[in-house]
Structure 1
Amino acid sequence: MSFMINIGRILFVALAISVSPVVAQIDTSSSDGLLKAARKAAFDENNYPQAKAYLYKAIEKSPNYSDLRVFLGRIYTWTKNYDSARICFEEVLKQNPGYEDACMAYADMTFWNDEDEKSLTICEEGIKYNPKSEGLYLKKARVLNSMRRFNEADKAVQAVLSLNKNNTEARALANRIRENAVKNRIGVSYDFVTFDKQFSDPWHMVSVDYGRNTGIGSIIGRFNYANRFASNGYQYELEAYPRISNTFYSYVGLAYSDNVGVFPGWRGGFSLYANLPKSYEAELGVRYLKFSGDPTYVYTGYIGKYYKSWLFGARAYITPSTFTSTVSSSYNLSARYYYASADDMLGFNIGYGVSPDDRLNVIQLNGVQQLTSYKAGFVFRKKFAKFNVLVIDGSWLNQEYLPKTIGNQYQFSIGCLRRF
């Protein structure tokens, strides 16, 4: 009997402890309590009418409490009552000019409704009162990028990074702005590959490319020359990155060579990219390869995450057994550290298998038998003289190129990119 009484006491205490926070949360005797109750109703219960009721009551108690009207304005925004949201934000800014939370919420609402000029004005007014606001500078950069005022957008995002170099959203946005900021780019690179067993002669490859930003996105043409297997070959490529929205853009590529054996006869691809919340990015796509026989389709997926000054990524390529004797795959993990601007980067990668996006080694996918290989590499990028970028990378490939026969491959590349 005493055992049952003790159990009852324990359960009563546990129940009292678990209930007491809830009671505290729904205490609506003060404006702060009503604001907490409104947040709980909106976020935990998805009950916007109840949240608004709490806020109406709180505003009656404290009509000059800015956070109440800002949160009410956000709820109106989420429920698409934009005129009511506008009244809330403007009332706060009338009472408290430059109030940071109101400026950020109002800038979001106008941006989401394609009022870029209005959103930009709100951001700039807020920055006058809050010159060290990472959030307002970031929203300003986002709006300017949408307006295609890329040089100004770059200045705004660099202001964020000067305040906090580990701001992951700013780092992700800076990479997108960088590609849009100039109209033209030209690049040249040289790759050297040597083998300890598989081939007696090294490989050489020279690439020259020209890219231009257009109203729909960037377009790049590339010419490749390679010397492999003691033979010369030429390849012609065309790539485009059409923009679909502020969230989505795509990749379309096609390459041709009449020197099959040095290059694939045809190589193509399509991908859909997404700039996701929480500083994530993702890609789904397909690649096309045709040597001398039947074509092969390879499916790919990628997920990346910005964290402070780092970008971590994971990618997979899957080739169904329809196109090979068995299902084959390759995988890659990467990490990039941005030590200054979006063009100043040190990266590392490890992987399994040969990627169809690897221009240097894709020729080794020519065959039904899939090779087992492991790869590790690095890349170094450094901006100099403002519009130029030096790129150096190297890799090691350990490959079973014949059954139970393993060899090593060493690659070194140097290139330069000029934007103008």
Structure 2
Amino acid sequence: MKFLYYSVFLMLFSTAVFAQEVDVDATLIVVKNEVEKGNYDKALSLLEPLHTKFPENEDVTIYMGRIYSWKKDYKKAIEILTPMTDRSKPNAEALFAIVNTYYWSEQFEKCIFYCDKYLETDPNSAEILKIKVTCLEKLNRNEEALAIIEKAGIVDNSTQPFRGIRTLIGRKSKNAISASYLNVSTSNPGQSPFHYGYVEYSHKFSKSAIVGRANVGHVNNDTQMLFETDYYQTFSNKSYLYANSGLSTGETVFPVAKVGLEYYFAPHKKFDYALGVRFMHFDSDDITLLTGQLAYNTGSYTFAYRPYYDTSNELFSHVLSLQRTNEEKERILRLELQYGNVPYLYLYNGFTQPLKAYRAGIQYQYRFGDSFFVRPVFLYEYEEYLPDEYRNRFNVQLIVTKRF
């Protein structure tokens, strides 16, 4: 008789458990479909009766917390998840869910606290470590973030998941030193090469930056220097102002004096705009250039057009560029097509006349480690040096930069 009683009891119990599992699983399938459609309120209306009927089912409770997070009701999500995360034996899935909730709501200190709780049971979780490192970077606790990255690299011999964060931390470096050498050669007919170089130091403040640069040029057996200062000021609307000034020790290799000002407007959707003016005083003439830029950004590519108008000589010059940028690796590949008397970096000839010049250039930036950059530049010109007389002109430059 007892055997029959227990058999009936077990059968009824098993049937009830099976019915519960079917009820929960079937509802969760429908809820998942609604979530994928973004119908969070409808998904919650299906889950809440299930939660009331089976309050001990933590999978249902956690899913409710996740949905509230996805619909950005972070306060409600935390209220649901906290009882399962703050007990003596926390639920790992609930911990994972509350980590994301605090991260998405930008409560970074709290997020780090729950990351640490999760890491007590799974210290090598790449996803949680990445969230913690990101929170530390947001709080400017950069040394702690880098220490975690280095430790993670020792454990699994890779810091791949953290490359983007390392780049963000690297860009916060306040200082940089650069050095450059530029060789300008000609052929058919040829002449003695021109040699230029510079050393510069830059420092970033919270909303501005300043650059000091010493240029040297050796042209036609004459060596002169140009000392420059660049200043950048950013504004809250994401626009910024660029200013430049310089004085030289001579009158021919560089301008005797130069000033420039350019304002970069706040980006509008995928477009960037800028307007500027540059003034250069030579011993024999003064040059005023009006310039600006229109750029279109799409993903990692930027297509830009920049005109120059020489008001003194009534000359128009044009630059078309296509640049591909890898933000994570800080690599840049830039192609340029130029026409007219375009200033090559800091160089502009005071003896301008309406002669034609066609140019095609390429430059590439590569980062070694976290803070050392190399940028080779090559620009070919088909230059009309006398009316109807053309020659080849080659500009080859190397720029190396160390930030710290």
Q: Corresponding residue for 1:330?
A: 320
Q: Corresponding residue for 1:399?
A: 381
Which residue identity is paired with 1:288?
G
Alpha-carbon separation, structure 2, partners of 1:370 and 1:160: 57
Shift in Å, 1:117: 1.8
Q: Are the equivalent residues in 1 in contact too, given 2:289–2:309 (CA < 8 A)?
A: no
Q: Corresponding residue for 1:268?
A: 262
Q: Corresponding residue for 1:22?
A: none
TM-score (normalised: structure 2): 0.70
Alpha-carbon separation, structure 2, partners of 1:240 and 1:130: 45
Q: Structure 1 residue 75 and structure 2 residue 67: aligned?
A: yes
Q: Which of 145, 153, 171 is equivalent to 2:137?
A: 145
Alpha-carbon separation, structure 1, partners of 2:320 and 2:49: 59
Q: Are the equivalent residues in 1 in contact too, given 2:208–2:233 (CA < 8 A)?
A: yes
Q: Corresponding residue for 1:221?
A: 211
Which residue identity is paired with 1:36?
I
Q: Structure 1 residue 193 and structure 2 residue 183: aligned?
A: yes
Q: Corresponding residue for 2:402?
A: 417
Alpha-carbon separation, structure 2, partners of 1:207 and 1:99: 58
Alpha-carbon separation, structure 2, partners of 1:144 and 1:52: 33
Q: Structure 1 residue 353 and structure 2 residue 341: aligned?
A: no
SS in 2 for 1:262: coil
Q: Corresponding residue for 1:295?
A: 290
Alpha-carbon separation, structure 2, partners of 1:321 and 1:376: 20
Q: Which of 235, 242, 245 is equivalent to 1:256?
A: 245
SS in 1 for 2:124: coil
Q: Are the equivalent residues in 1 in contact too, given 2:366–2:373 (CA < 8 A)?
A: yes
Shift in Å, 1:138: 1.8
Alpha-carbon separation, structure 2, partners of 1:249 and 1:129: 43
Q: Structure 1 residue 32 and structure 2 residue 25: aligned?
A: yes
Which residue identity is paired with 2:260?
W
Unaligned runs of 5+ in 1: 1-27, 275-281, 305-312
Q: Which of 353, 357, 362 is equivalent to 1:376?
A: 362
Relative to structure 1, the CA distance from residue 354 to residue 84 in structure 2 (aligned partners, 3 Å threshold; closer, same or farther) is same
- Greater mean alpha carbon deviation, residues 360-369 or residues 34-43: 360-369
Describe how 1:200-239 pairs up with structure 2 within 5 A: 200-212=192-204, 214=205, 216-217=206-207, 219-227=209-217, 232-239=225-232
Relative to structure 1, the CA distance from residue 287 to residue 203 in structure 2 (aligned partners, 3 Å threshold; closer, same or farther) is farther
TM-score (normalised: structure 1): 0.67
- Greater mean alpha carbon deviation, residues 186-195 or residues 253-262: 253-262
Shift in Å, 1:303: 4.7
Structure with max Cα Rg:
2
- Greater mean alpha carbon deviation, residues 46-55 or residues 151-160: 151-160
Alpha-carbon separation, structure 2, partners of 1:352 and 1:102: 53
Relative to structure 1, the CA distance from residue 394 to residue 115 in structure 2 (aligned partners, 3 Å threshold; closer, same or farther) is closer
Shift in Å, 1:187: 0.9
Shift in Å, 1:269: 4.6
Q: Are the equivalent residues in 2 in contact too, given 1:138–1:160 (CA < 8 A)?
A: no
Q: Which deviations, in whole Å up to 9, do the C-alpha atoms of 1:266-323 show, x marking residues without a partner?
A: 153537689xxxxxxx88352634242252111334455xxxxxxxx32222236999
Unaligned runs of 5+ in 2: 1-20, 280-286
Q: Which of 18, 39, 44 is equivalent to 1:47?
A: 39
Q: Are the equivalent residues in 1 in contact too, given 2:183–2:196 (CA < 8 A)?
A: yes
Shift in Å, 1:62: 5.3
Which residue identity is paired with 1:89?
L
Q: Are the equivalent residues in 2 in contact too, given 1:289–1:296 (CA < 8 A)?
A: yes
Which residue identity is paired with 1:73?
G
Q: Are the equivalent residues in 1 in contact too, given 2:241–2:261 (CA < 8 A)?
A: no
Shift in Å, 1:189: 0.8
Shift in Å, 1:328: 4.2
Alpha-carbon separation, structure 2, partners of 1:31 and 1:370: 77
What number of residue pairs does the alignment pair up?
355
Q: Are the equivalent residues in 2 in contact too, given 1:354–1:362 (CA < 8 A)?
A: no
Q: Corresponding residue for 2:283?
A: none
Alpha-carbon separation, structure 2, partners of 1:32 and 1:392: 57
Relative to structure 1, the CA distance from residue 31 to residue 209 in structure 2 (aligned partners, 3 Å threshold; closer, same or farther) is same
Alpha-carbon separation, structure 2, partners of 1:31 and 1:130: 29
Relative to structure 1, the CA distance from residue 107 to residue 360 in structure 2 (aligned partners, 3 Å threshold; closer, same or farther) is farther
Which residue identity is paired with 2:26?
G
Q: Are the equivalent residues in 2 in contact too, given 1:250–1:272 (CA < 8 A)?
A: yes
Over the aligned positions, Cα root-mean-square deviation in angstroms equals 4.3
Shift in Å, 1:351: 0.4
